């Protein structure tokens, strides 16, 4: 039985299906943000991947959140094979493996999921926090969840702290010099606007926090 403030596996999976819908709906907003410094198609890729993830979850009877996340990552890899799609595929597959068998999802599991996701993206993208990438939302969020777990917080509180840190990290990218991708070729276009990938991860965490909170 889940302790108060921890997240039952079923509630997490139902919330995650809603998150997929929210992220699909954010397509145009993310495309517009990406157009400021990139090709303007990031939102399309993310919507395609999350649509595939939602379809998988809606048709699956998988009860383990970790195994389901691994499958969602596989959907991203197959259906959204771009740079951000590959990175999110890695994030979900690594994060899912880190929490397989977790029920309920407590603060330690939230931290393990987000830390594994961030570490996987750093390795696959050969990037570090501070370089104006999705990692600038992922790494602060993971670190906030790790700190929360160390302080004995609940799973929901760890997720709340992670979402706040991810949002702050994404906002901070507006003042960073890009080093990767097209934005690195024309850095003046990127100044003053947050990185689209970091913004997408912050949106994802905010939606997950809201959806999980409504389920628990």
Question: In whole numbers, what is the pLDDT of the chain averaged over residues?
Answer: 92
Give the per-residue pLDDT at 197. 94
Give the per-residue pLDDT at 182. 52
Q: Is 177 left (phi over 0), alpha (psi -120 to 50) or beta?
A: beta
Give the per-residue pLDDT at 162. 98
CA angle 193, 160, 166 (to 5 degrees): 25
CATH superfamily of this structure's domain 9-210:
DhaL domain (1.25.40.340)
Tell me the domain boundaries of the chain. 9-210
Give the per-residue pLDDT at 181. 54
Residue 21 is inside which H or E element, if any?
helix 9-25
Give the per-residue pLDDT at 92. 98
Give the per-residue pLDDT at 37. 73
Model pTM score:
0.92
**Among residues 57, 58, 115, 121, which one has the least CA distance to residue 89?**
121
Residues 135, 154: Cα–Cα separation, whole Å = 24
Give the per-residue pLDDT at 57. 97
Give the per-residue pLDDT at 185. 44
- Which residues in the chain come in under a pLDDT of 50? 1, 184-185
Residue 69's Cβ-side half-sphere holds a number of Cα atoms within 13 Å equal to 29
Give the per-residue pLDDT at 193. 85
Share of the chain above pLDDT 90, in %: 79
CA dihedral 36, 37, 38, 44 (to 10 degrees): -40
């Amino acid at each position: 039985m889940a302790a108060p403030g921890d997240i039952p596996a079923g509630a997490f999976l139902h919330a995650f299906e809603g998150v997929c819908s929210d992220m699909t709906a954010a397509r145009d907003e993310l495309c517009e943000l990406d157009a400021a410094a990139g090709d303007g198609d990031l939102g399309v890729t993310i919507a395609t991947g999350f649509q595939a993830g939602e379809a998988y979850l809606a048709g699956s009877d998988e009860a383990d959140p970790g195994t389901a996340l691994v499958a969602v990552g596989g959907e991203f890899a197959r259906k959204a094979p771009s740079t951000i799609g590959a990175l999110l595929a890695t994030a979900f597959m690594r994060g899912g493996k880190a929490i397989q068998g977790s029920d309920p999802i407590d603060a330690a599991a939230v931290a393990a999921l987000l830390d594994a996701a961030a570490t996987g993206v750093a390795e696959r993208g050969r990037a570090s926090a501070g370089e104006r990438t999705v990692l600038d939302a992922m790494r602060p969020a993971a670190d906030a969840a790790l700190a929360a777990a160390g302080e004995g917080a609940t799973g929901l509180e760890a997720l709340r702290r992670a979402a706040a840190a991810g949002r702050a990290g994404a906002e901070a990218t507006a003042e960073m010099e890009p080093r990767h991708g097209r934005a690195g070729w024309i850095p003046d276009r990127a100044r003053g606007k947050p990185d689209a990938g970091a913004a997408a991860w912050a949106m994802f965490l905010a939606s997950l926090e809201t959806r999980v909170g409504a389920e628990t």
